[in-house]
Amino acid sequence: MTGTPSLNVVNLKTHFFIREGVVRAVDGVSFSVDQGEVLGIVGESGCGKSITARSILRLVPNPPGRTVDGRIEFEGKDLLELSESEMRKVRGNRISMIFQDPMTYLNPTMKVGDQITEVLRLHLDMNETQARARTLELFRDVNIPEPEGRLDNYPHEFSGGMRQRVMIAMALACEPGLLIADEPTTALDVTVQAQILDLLRRIRDDLNSAIILITHDLGVVAEICDKVVVMYAGQVVEQANVYDLFDEPKHPYTRGLLDSLPTPEHRVDQLKPIPGQPPDLLRIPKGCNFAPRCAYCMQKCIDEEPPFREVAPGHMSRCWLDSVTQTAVAAAE
């Protein structure tokens, strides 16, 4: 890990303008990820994880969505200020993305090898022979068995795990500086999940790429990430290195996520689910977004939105409490 910033997201706001009103899907999100570092973004479905990733790549459909504020600094440029033609040179080249469902993003009518050679010819100006040789090399890198014979297969001829490997090969084609992996292990069996995580580690180690891993699986986060961003209702509510976050979570929502995670110490019948539901993003509460579900809620939480502040060295939390181990009474005093 070099410590050199690869991506710096500052006060990012992406809203959806619909008939019923404005949905603040991403509402003032800030974080950074360094070269050679894996950043995990976690939270419940609908918290804004994937929209944040799509905002970085400027893939949010407009209308109804639009990034209305913020900066996305990558390799010395603000991606939000680039023209669409300039952004196309970044997408799939310097920044690549692995999507959750490969069948949605692989063209079912094209051979998988051709889909990767197309990327290489577009971004690296390779000829057909060079691109095919590089694609074969990529297939070997991601451990696709008998790669020579699989280049001319179609996506439906691959298993789910193999299709995900094809997506990773495509994402690695141009050796990106930043790789965004959106739920890359969802719907895969445990063995295949472990293999995909091993591939991500190799990418980090061999290319020194920055990686953003979007997931709801805290077990995956604990295994591979260096630091973690926890999102709730479009906002970052906690950010820390992975060890501090698991050892001493500062935000009640993070504590709730950890308490609902099966572990050797937590039998299934001992798990404590978070009560209630996330807020309607059309009707965000006045104070803390998490207040209606929080066991530590006090009147101040209902009346005032808490700032995102440092509560321990390198540890940020959006909560009026300094730690979820303190009581609301003590905090009020």
Co-location of 242 and 312 in the same domain? yes
Q: Tell whether 111 is covered by a domain.
A: yes
- Give alpha helix (H) positions in 57-186: 84-90, 102-105, 112-124, 128-141, 147-150, 160-172
Co-location of 126 and 275 in the same domain? no
Placement of tokens 């009581």 in the chain: 327
Co-location of 180 and 53 in the same domain? yes
Give the per-residue pLDDT at 207: 87
Give the per-residue pLDDT at 186: 75
Co-location of 12 and 63 in the same domain? yes
Co-location of 123 and 54 in the same domain? no
Q: Tell whether 235 is covered by a domain.
A: yes
Beta bridge pairs of residue 21? 18
Q: Tell whether 99 is covered by a domain.
A: no
CB atoms closer than 10 angstroms to residue 78: 13
Q: Tell whether 41 is covered by a domain.
A: yes
What are the φ and ψ backbone dihedral angles of 8, each rounded to 5 degrees? -130, 115
Contact predicate 322/333, CB 8 Å: no
Q: Tell whether 60 is covered by a domain.
A: yes
Give the per-residue pLDDT at 2: 46
At 164, list the tokens.
Answer: 């995900």
Structural domain including 31 reads 5-94+174-332
- Identify the CATH number of the domain in which residue 35 sits: 3.40.50.300
DSSP symbol at 258: H
Give the per-residue pLDDT at 327: 45
Rounded mean pLDDT for each run of 10 residues along the chain, 333 residues in total: 75 96 96 95 93 95 94 95 94 89 86 93 92 93 89 92 88 91 81 84 89 91 94 96 95 91 65 86 90 93 94 95 58 43
Co-location of 80 and 126 in the same domain? no
Co-location of 291 and 200 in the same domain? yes
Co-location of 273 and 137 in the same domain? no
Q: Tell whether 101 is covered by a domain.
A: no
Radius of gyration over alpha carbons of the chain, in Å?
21
SS3 for 10-30, per residue?
EEEEEEEEECCEEEEEEEEEE
User: Domain total for the chain?
Assistant: 2
Co-location of 72 and 208 in the same domain? yes
Helix (H, G, I), strand (E, B) or coil at 68: strand
Co-location of 26 and 117 in the same domain? no
Co-location of 87 and 195 in the same domain? yes
Co-location of 179 and 127 in the same domain? no
